[in-house]
A and B are shown apart, each in its own frame.
Chain A
């Protein structure tokens, strides 16, 4: 019976490609999310340097601080990898430590974002101020929303593991979350480069 049910889910049963159904679903979803962020980033790039009045990126950005938050997010990807590896190796306890670490690092990143946004608002940059404010807050805001959903997902997995809900047998559940988490991290790297680093290059605006 388990065989037949799994057959519908493609979990243990053969699929035409050998790839798990839900994994393929996650990749398809990430494809669409790629286009989503590409459109937001393209909008940002099209309007780069076109604001009629300030504040401008070089007025508000602090590359040192954002580098720290970027590093934090990158480290969270590493802890995510460790969480998955721990689970595959059979240690649910280590898995739990690493998954909660990932969530905490993610929340730290979000904390940095919140403080950064507050700073910008105090310096006179809001969604309504100019093209830079509009495109910046929308792009980074949606990224932050993705991180937030990811944190909730990771915390649920962590709490679920307390009830024995996460075992080496259903490592796929963690694998899917990891894929999503790494994607969100990669998007941030692109945003950091295009928005922050290019933003303070002399002559770009």
Chain B
């Protein structure tokens, strides 16, 4: 097929070592890559938080300069949202979705690999800013005109813009993949209303990603054009409105928070039924509430802009829509409680984290309702009251659920159970220290402490609670390190896990821990929800698909062949991104580098499109 005699490597067939990871297209390996990278980024963001809390532990400190502090909170927010929570969710999507729907891989395995490598390069680019002139310093939300070159001449904001664009490409690629996979590759009999709830939430999240990311892509392009080419999108002197940035950003930004929480809710919706030995209460309503949240999530964005001066009519409308969205959110909580009611609850660590999620999410949700009232929000906006709310829903919500998911699915990934004793200590340490860190922020916020200030004076009444928060933050850091210790030691020498250590309900528990490369020896036919439970306890056997390729004990299953083109395409984007970043500073060199990067990507994509999914010469399967 390729007739040029360039010394390009042949397509790998059975690669080993590092090369096998670089060329992998196996969703399970890609899931692990995502998970490990995301966790490292989570700890990076946590380190940034430690600095912030150290600086704020006492009034009038100067452990860091204001400029560095501003970079710290910008990077903390951007890292946690885009490099930790979203990719951690992606790790679960990758590993679990094919297993939950009874598929052998995702619809586009190479696109899947591409989305991981692009994510990695985006994360790398963002963090390189620390050493290449300074990290971005205008907040994770980058309001114009503070981000314009007039007020922010350094490269930090350009790093922020380009990294987010690259991360956006990664997220979109993944979202496209999961939409097609979930819609098109379900096992026979798995109707949409029979899918596991995690799969449902992944589908909804993927649609949100597809529709929301382009909006921030445009906002970032516009900002970049202003900075690099002197356009006028956000230039007040030309008559532009900085509020346009806010509208575009939050039209993306609000669906984004549902992108952050829906997968978490999906995970919790799997764990609670399993450990209560009951099906989820009100499955159709839980699905519907997810859909309603996703739909209504498009109608609330200006609640982030209540103080911008949109006027009382707009503020009232958005206040009402924001209150309305609390209804489907609350419904989920009641359904979870009803699932546990009259169940037989086993408090394994995963279940502890899931229930902990519910407690913390109730608090976060209620403070959200307080914000929804635009009039009283005028006192809360831009204060630590909001910081409290957002951490309750993002840490107490998303992170707790992701940790729960790791405890739950760890045996499936590694074939070993995480240590339960350490797990329980881990849970209580994290749960308690999370509250110590973030609950006092409700007080400082209502006591008038604004956000994003590198220091404060004594005598404001903020000293005690800041000290408490900071102490809590360090405890929380210890809790996360304990988690890491548990994960690493359990992966090495934890108790060996069976295929179904939790007496699960869904398809992933029917196959070995860890699964074989082809996942299912025989694709099952499904006849209802919780098909594995139905098979175990209700006598509804899952008949394998007739004539399926697994009939020789897996030996005639052909899987997508590894490929290096996704990796190369990502490198091209990375190089191209750097070129664009430096256009203003380095003029023709920047353009040249950008063009080279684009060419690399285009060649890679072209070669990738001509490369068949499987190499016809691959011989027998593994």
Contact = CB atoms under 8 A, between A and B. Distances in A.
Interface stretch (B134-142, B226-234, B269-277): B226-234
A24 B239 contact: no
Q: Which applies to chain B's interface (DSSP): helix, strand, loop or mixed?
A: helix
A29 B221 contact: no
Interface stretch (A12-20, A55-63, A89-97): A12-20
Contacts of A19: 183-184
Q: Which applies to chain A's interface (DSSP): helix, strand, loop or mixed?
A: helix
Nearest to B186: A16
Contact of B232 (A5, A33, A36, A128): A128
Given A9-B613, A25-B176, A128 B230 contact: yes
A38 B212 CA distance: 11
B185 A24 contact: no
Interface string B208-232: 0011111101110110010001111
Nearest to A149: B602
B107 A5 contact: no
B211 A51 contact: no
A122 B190 CA distance: 62
Contact of A138 (B222, B558, B606): B222
Contact of B180 (A25, A51, A130): A25
B104 A8 contact: yes
Contacts of B184: 10, 15-17, 19, 21, 24
B551 to A, nearest CB: 11
Contact of B240 (A7, A24, A131): A131
A164 to B, nearest CB: 12
Contacts of B560: 8
B516 to A, nearest CB: 16
Given A21-B107, A21-B180, A138-B225, A51 B239 contact: yes
Given A1-B558, A24-B179, A28-B179, A10 B185 contact: yes
B231 A128 contact: yes
A114 B560 CA distance: 43
Interface residues on A, range: 35 or more
Interface in B79-126: 104-105, 107-109
Contacts of A28: 175-176, 179-180, 210
A19 B184 CA distance: 7
Contact of A127 (B190, B218, B230): B230
B238 interface: yes
Given A1-B558, A25-B107, A35-B211, A16 B232 contact: no
Given A16-B185, A32-B211, A131 B232 contact: yes
A43 B185 contact: no
Given A128-B229, A128-B231, A134-B225, A32 B172 contact: yes
Nearest to A7: B549
A193 interface: no
B180 A24 contact: yes
Contact of A4 (B105, B248, B556): B556
B7 interface: no
A134 B231 CA distance: 5
A65 B190 CA distance: 55
Considering residues A10, A16, A51, which has the most beta carbons from chain B within 10 angstroms of its beta carbon? A16
A51 B215 CA distance: 23
B108 A25 contact: yes
Contacts of A51: 238-239
A31 interface: yes
Nearest to A31: B210
A43 B233 contact: yes
B587 interface: no
B549 A43 contact: no
A40 B218 contact: yes
A10 B105 CA distance: 12
A1 B229 CA distance: 54
A51 B240 CA distance: 8
A31 B105 CA distance: 24
Contacts of B107: 10, 21, 24-25
A8 B107 CA distance: 7
A32 B248 contact: no
Interface in B305-332: none
B244 interface: yes
A47 interface: yes
A52 interface: yes
A204 interface: no
Interface string B249-273: 0010000000000000000000000
Contacts of A17: 183-184
Interface string A93-137: 000000000000000000000000000000000011011011100
Contacts of A50: 239-240
Given A10-B184, A43-B218, A128-B232, A5 B614 contact: yes
Contacts of B177: 25
Contacts of B240: 47, 50, 131
Contacts of A36: 214, 217-218
Nearest to B177: A25
Considering residues A25, A33, A51, A52, which has the most beta carbons from chain B within 10 angstroms of its beta carbon? A25
A180 B539 CA distance: 49
Contact of B558 (A4, A33, A43): A4
Interface in B187-225: 190, 210-215, 217-219, 221-222, 225
A155 to B, nearest CB: 12
Nearest to B209: A32
A172 B290 CA distance: 34
A5 to B, nearest CB: 5
A32 B190 CA distance: 27
Considering residues B184, B211, B222, B225, which has the most beta carbons from chain A within 10 angstroms of its beta carbon? B184
Contacts of A130: 232, 238-239
20 contacts: A1-B558, A4-B558, A7-B549, A8-B560, A10-B184, A16-B183, A25-B107, A25-B108, A32-B211, A34-B214, A38-B214, A39-B217, A47-B244, A50-B240, A128-B232, A131-B238, A131-B239, A131-B240, A135-B233, A138-B233
Given A47-B244, A156-B606, 8 more contacts: A4-B549, A8-B558, A21-B180, A25-B180, A32-B210, A32-B211, A43-B248, A134-B238
Interface of B: 104-105, 107-109, 172, 175-177, 179-180, 183-186, 190, 210-215, 217-219, 221-222, 225, 229-233, 238-241, 244, 248, 251, 549, 556-560, 606, 612-614
Q: Which 6 A-B pairs have the closest CB atoms?
A: A39-B218, A36-B214, A15-B184, A35-B214, A134-B231, A134-B232
